[in-house]
Chain A
């Protein structure tokens, strides 16, 4: 009898262990996620494929883009706000683009960079030739607090499996984000990408 009880207890323990292991096992998304290096505003983040430093942040109700010839386009409006991330990027060993630039907000939503051409994420980057320029995002204003910049080399996530990534804390605390929103100009003009 005692042996039978022990067997049942052992069985229950093993079953619980199996369930625990099954739940703790990372899923496909976690196992093959890009290998991210974390950093903060103003810090250089070194990944295997590129170096990134976020220099500053701007907000605007609309953006105007100035091209290589100094011509400024018409304002582009948005239903939310424009977040302009100014950053410096350099490729480490082979030419690439940082097309997978996303703003990950506190609720887990991800906003891919705007399709506007001429921005840093659409620029060919070569080793030893760093580039400085804007990356544009459109997000709802109430999601600014806690937003983190996530950068990979491809806009399609499936191409970045176990690839290099940079996660940059933009320092958007609730009070800082509120202040930025209060001081936000109706239009912000952004210049072209330039090589440094």
Chain B
């Protein structure tokens, strides 16, 4: 076997091995992202600035503390506080609005503190008044049909959390958009 032929086999191996590994690993990576919601595309915006993902602008408007208005309401766990988070989303183009309406109705909000601990939004309706804000990435009409947000219109979304007192000061917001496992992270 000449050295040219040997080099040819060597080069072939150098190409073939990564291709085989990629063919085995990449489908699992997609499954992992779908299953865990981790590892997908992520955009981060700090200092109240806007994050743009797939033509949709996201902005953290405020994180404020709430109070239980009804004295008869189920009490909060000890040493916890209510965090009321206002986030806005605005499709910047018609195409982005259509894509968002078609594919990302399942958006999940959570807050994360400096230590990496996270809390999902609470289902309790008695923690804060809604004040006309949406409860998720979409609104419904009187017939309970989803109304897509048109391009250029800002939708303010209110989510409420019960978090430990020591976490409140360092809360950031994460919006997880399925099914493509994309994440928007917003810091005050």
Contact = CB atoms under 8 A, between A and B. Distances in A.
Interface of A: 68, 92-95, 126-129, 195-196
Contact of B120 (A92, A95, A129, A195): A95
Contact of B167 (A128, A195, A196): A128
B31 interface: no
B78 A127 contact: no
A113 to B, nearest CB: 23
Interface in B96-140: 115-120
Contacts of B163: 126, 128
A128 B120 contact: no
Contacts of B167: 127-128
Q: Which DSSP category, helix, strand, loop or mixed, fits chain A's interface? A: loop
A94 B53 CA distance: 25
A127 B77 contact: no
A94 B80 contact: no
A126 B78 contact: no
15 contacts: A92-B117, A93-B115, A94-B117, A95-B119, A95-B120, A126-B119, A127-B118, A127-B119, A127-B167, A128-B163, A128-B164, A129-B80, A195-B80, A196-B77, A196-B78
Given A92-B117, A129-B164, 12 more contacts: A68-B74, A93-B115, A95-B118, A95-B119, A126-B119, A126-B162, A127-B117, A127-B119, A128-B164, A128-B166, A129-B77, A129-B80
Contacts of A94: 117-118
Contact of B117 (A68, A128, A195, A196): A128
Interface residues of B, number: 15
A153 B133 CA distance: 35
Contacts of A127: 117-119, 164, 167
Pick from B77, B80, B120, B163 the residue with the most CB of A within 10 Å.
B77
B120 to A, nearest CB: 5
B26 to A, nearest CB: 21
A195 B118 contact: no
A129 B113 CA distance: 14
Interface string B154-175: 0000000011101100000000
Contacts of A129: 77, 80, 162, 164
Nearest to A127: B117
Counting from the closest, the 6 A-B pairs by CB-CB distance are A195-B77, A128-B164, A127-B117, A129-B77, A93-B117, A94-B118
A128 B120 CA distance: 13
A165 B115 CA distance: 22
B72 to A, nearest CB: 12
A51 to B, nearest CB: 13
A128 B78 CA distance: 10
B164 to A, nearest CB: 3
A104 B91 CA distance: 54
B130 to A, nearest CB: 22
Contact of A93 (B118, B164, B166): B118
Nearest to B164: A128
A20 B16 CA distance: 35
A92 B115 CA distance: 10
B15 to A, nearest CB: 32
Interface string B51-83: 000000000000000000000001001101000
B97 to A, nearest CB: 32
A128 B117 CA distance: 8
A68 B77 CA distance: 13
A93 B116 contact: yes
